[in-house]
Structure 1
Amino acid sequence: MGTAPPAQELSGTQASILAAYAELIEEVGTDDVSFRVIALRAGVGERTVFRYYPTRVDLLLATSAWIEHTIFSRAESESIFDVPIAIRETMEAYDRRPELAHVVAETAMRGVNGADPAPHQTEFDRMLRSEVPSLGDDDRRAVVAALCHLDSSATWVTMRRELGMGGRDIADAAMWAAEAILDPIRHRSGAAGE
């Protein structure tokens, strides 16, 4: 879901492989897809897939990072107080592509190979420092951590699986929780009168 590009630029072939695997994940899941089928869908040889992604785990992690940076990417918020709406929109995007949201959540928890469990952490910290400079370091870290937790595919998966919530309810709950985190500091910023 981040706006930053992947750690390394992908070749057209790599992007084709990752896009093909993402399509297949939505069609049949992650376990039932062979490298041969991915290669056919991507229009490359099977050896090419193995050259870039020697193991299924390498391929899954790279595809998850690609999904996060392409399918679930979003524009950077202009203000920290716009983040609840962005979180709502992200939850709605996860609900439209649930199989991909599950893959991103599972790999983001590993935090390796391009998967980022908190892709907007730096952005949130920067906005808070700028918009609410009187906020102490501990309080700022707590707000950033809470927003990062809400702004994650893992939160969407938890609300969906563990709480049995539907898409609109998940989006509303995440947005309202983000607003509740930010409301106590709203008066300390220049946005208070807006």
Structure 2
Amino acid sequence: MTTDGVTGTQAAILAAYAELIEEVGTDDVSFRLIALRAGVGERTVFRHYPTRVDLLLAMSAWVERTVFARPPSESIFDVPIAIREAIETYDKRPELAYVVAETAMRGVNGSEPAPQRAHLEALLEREAPSLDADERRQIVAALCHLDSSATWVTMRRELGMSGRNIADAATWAAEAILDPIRDLGSH
């Protein structure tokens, strides 16, 4: 097993599929083409991922954990920077961001909907201990979805925003959420 929960063969298959999606889109990628790119037999792909849906969901969760992974923030007040970096990463890999967002919005890709939630809660408890549980929950709910691929896709498709404008808007929103609590930890 690798550190991201898949075997080396599975990682090769998922990486090959991700590369091919970026090159030709999701519809034009056959199991045979994936097997060739991954350097495995076609049966091996089917053994690990019996259907196209299984493969798509596994690849989406894998991309979220690897390609779009980011280190946790050291301070709650660093989160706007992390959000900007996440949005910029989606903008560099748009085909993968669309696939991850589509499967995440359907709640079927097996990845955590808000992977940073527990970490954000811990940061808030440490840096703004006077907040009550409801206030913390509201702040965490707002922050943990600003850097999602689903947010990026929504702003891109629905609002026609550029990557830079999405990053600016998400960063601004995070700053607006955090500004009222900046001095709570210093009292």
Which position in structure 2 is the counterpart of 1:86?
Answer: 82
For residues 57-79 of structure 1, give each alpha carbon's deviation from its aligned partner in whole angstroms, at most 9, with x where no partner exists: 11111111111111111111000
Q: Which of residues 20, 24, 31 is equivalent to 2:20? A: 24
State TM-score, norm by structure 1: 0.91
Which position in structure 2 is the counterpart of 1:42?
Answer: 38
Aligned-residue sequence identity (percent) comes to 75
CA contact (8 A) 1:61 1:115 kept: no
CA contact (8 A) 1:67 1:100 kept: yes
How much is the aligned-residue C-alpha RMSD, in angstroms? Answer: 1.3
1:10-21 paired onto structure 2 within 5 Å: 10-21=6-17
CA contact (8 A) 2:84 2:170 kept: yes
Q: Distance in 1 between matches of 2:124 and 2:64?
A: 24
Q: CA deviation at 1:113?
A: 4.8
SS of equivalent to 2:184: coil
Q: Distance in 2 between matches of 1:188 and 1:54?
A: 53
Query: Is the aligned partner of 1:33 residue 2:61?
Result: no
Which position in structure 1 is the counterpart of 2:158?
Answer: 162
CA contact (8 A) 1:107 1:115 kept: no
Q: Which of residues 66, 72, 79 is equivalent to 1:70? A: 66
State TM-score, norm by structure 2: 0.95
1:113-128 paired onto structure 2 within 5 Å: 113-128=109-124
Aligned residues: 185
For residues 66-121 of structure 1, give each alpha carbon's deviation from its aligned partner in whole angstroms, at most 9, with x where no partner exists: 11111111111000100000000100000011001011111112334532221111
For residues 127-158 of structure 1, give each alpha carbon's deviation from its aligned partner in whole angstroms, at most 9, with x where no partner exists: 11111111111111100100112121111001
Unaligned segments of structure 1, at least 5 residues: none
SS of equivalent to 2:35: helix
Q: Distance in 1 between matches of 2:108 and 2:26?
A: 18
Q: Which of residues 110, 135, 141 is equivalent to 1:139? A: 135
Q: For residues 105 and 113 of structure 1, do their structure 2 counterparts lie closer, same or farther at Cα, with a shift above 3 Å needed?
A: closer
Query: Is the aligned partner of 1:148 residue 2:144?
Result: yes
1:52-67 paired onto structure 2 within 5 Å: 52-67=48-63
